[in-house]
Chains A and B, each alone.
Chain A
Amino acid sequence: MVLAVAGGVVIYAYTMGYLGGLGGSNTPGTLSLDAATCNTTHIVAYVRNIGSKVVNVSAAYVNNAPATLYRNQDVRIAVGSVGTVIINGTYTVGATYQVRLVCDDNTRLDFSVKCES
């Protein structure tokens, strides 16, 4: 009987944790790229939130390397709005960069941008 109760408690705790991670506030949002530009010092992306909840862009990666957001500030994008995400860095004219934006709820947006000026 002790074993049955202990087993039940373990399964209960595991299930609760699993279900807690599935839904609710942990479900990622949806982002879409409107347009993006690149110059030698910045990548500017116009990002649309087409999901059902507010997202907060908190990290950026350029060619898989961590990059810094403008003023090190997160970019909050309301539902149905377009946010301007500026990524600092040194970029080469003519090169194409793979960019990944990550929000604090694990929403991601991948795109590439060619540096033109």
Chain B
Amino acid sequence: MRLSGECRGVSEVIASLVMLLVVSLLGTTLYAYSQTTLNSLQESFQYSLTLEEERVKEKFRVLAVWWDGSDLLNITILNYGKVDISVDAIYIDNKPATRFLSGRGETVYTLKLVHVKLTSPVAIVEGRGYDIVVVSERGVRCEYLWTP
């Protein structure tokens, strides 16, 4: 096609090809980016879903607390849930225990016991009630009111 005056242009075929190229490039970029982002999102949702599912299946309770008369405690915990657990933290009257002698971090299989020995972060007085909170690695809590 010839244009009048000084104006010059490209043929309809070339223009169409350029347009096609631009649209294809944009489409490809959008597709690749969407794929990556959606995959990442899906992985994130899957992780959250699996974690929540495991947290729901996780069930444990304190069966007994043994006290040596000073500040040493031995807490017996039963895993009666459907997944293995691991005791990660124990709080006594909302104060975290920092000195563990054994039991912490051990895998406790379903219907098995674990004995967690620790030094109490608070002074134990006979006859007084203590709020013991056991927390698993997945963040599931078990509360137990104990009176020595």
A-to-B contact residues, CB < 8 Å: 1, 5, 8, 12, 15-16, 19-20, 22-24, 27, 30, 32, 34-37, 46, 48, 50-52, 80, 82
Contact = CB atoms under 8 A, between A and B. Distances in A.
Contacts of A20: 37
A34 B38 contact: no
Interface in B20-41: 23, 26, 30, 33-34, 37-38, 40-41
Interface string B114-140: 000000000000000000010101110
A23 B38 contact: yes
22 contacts: A8-B26, A15-B30, A16-B33, A19-B37, A20-B37, A23-B38, A23-B40, A23-B44, A27-B40, A34-B89, A34-B133, A34-B135, A35-B94, A35-B133, A37-B95, A46-B96, A48-B135, A50-B138, A50-B139, A51-B48, A51-B51, A82-B96
Contacts of B38: 19, 22-23
Given A34-B135, A35-B94, A48-B135, A12 B40 contact: no
A32 B37 CA distance: 27
B59 to A, nearest CB: 16
B91 interface: yes
Contacts of A51: 47-48, 51
Contact of B139 (A15, A32, A37, A52): A32
A1 B44 CA distance: 40
A79 B40 CA distance: 18
